[in-house]
Amino acid sequence: MKRVLLALVLVTLASVAPAADPTWRVLFDGTSTDAWRGFRRESFPAGGWLLDHGALKTVVGGDRCDIVTRERFRDFELELEWRVSAGGNSGVFYDVAENASETWHTGPEMQVLDDRRHGDGQNPKTSAGSLYALIAPRGHTLAPVGEYNQARLVKQGRHVEHWLNGTKLLEYELGSPALTKLIAESKFKDMPRFAREGEGHIALQHHGELVWFRNVRIRPLAPVTAAKPVS
């Protein structure tokens, strides 16, 4: 009788257990790097990145290669957690193309940084959560160094939002006069395809310092309007 009751309890629990949201796709589950490879490479740069307690961790002094998703994405919501060492620096890029020599030559970057100990933290436009070198975040709160921050990047049509630890930091429109002006006044002014691809790979930067990424997932979004490459 006890076995029957136990079986009924297990069946009941199984029937009410929440199912995984099918709209989300896991890009890194803490164990497999299958969704990633090196930028402009066919394989994963094991000499530059390793698995560390459920996270992707850079190898300082190792193969300094950014990693990109094997798939390309157009309209999406991306979520991940990151942490850096003291003075650490990295970034999350989107719309990355591989017809350029660096990920940042085409892909806009959401900055990953220890604001207090890295020089980029002194400039709001290059601080954590910024659209790197272009738009400063508003009201961001960082977890202490060594703890994880929760990042969210939303791209729908030409509209993009950066979120950090539950707060929306900034938003902008790809191809807008405002963003075009900022790019023309920045280090990206001589990069004709920067922020103009319309779709591409997600990239995680190996800047040479220690950084960890975990719980990386993405879900496609329906575009507000037909998404075409910005001309």
Q: What is the reported pLDDT for 230?
A: 57
pLDDT in tens, 59-78: 999 999 999 999 999 999 99
Residue 214 resides in a domain: yes
Mean pLDDT calculated for residue range 167-188: 98
Tell me how far the alpha carbon of residue 230 is from its chain's centroid.
21
Residue 227 resides in a domain: no
Domain that holds residue 71: 23-220
Residue 72 resides in a domain: yes
Residue 229 resides in a domain: no
Residue 2 resides in a domain: no
Alpha carbon of 226 to those of 21, 71, 94, 130: distances in Å? Answer: 26, 20, 18, 27
More confident position, 3 or 215: 215
Q: What is the reported pLDDT for 139?
A: 87
pLDDT in tens, 38-60: 999 999 999 999 999 999 999 99
Q: What is the reported pLDDT for 126?
A: 98
Q: What is the reported pLDDT for 225?
A: 58
Q: Is 76 exposed, middle or buried (0-12, 13-18, 19+ CB in 10 A)?
A: middle
Measured in degrees and rounded to the nearest 5, phi and psi for residue 37 equal -150, 170
Read off the CATH number of the domain in which 89 is found.
2.60.120.560
* Average pLDDT score, the chain: 90
At position 148, the amino acid (one-letter code) is Y
Q: What is the reported pLDDT for 119?
A: 96
pLDDT at 208 over 90: yes
pLDDT at 227 over 70: no
Count structural domains, the chain: 1
Residue 197 resides in a domain: yes
Q: What is the reported pLDDT for 10?
A: 37
Burial 192-216 (b: 16+ CB within 10 A, else e): ebbbbbbbbbbbbbbbebbbbbbbb
Residue 28 resides in a domain: yes
Residue 69 resides in a domain: yes
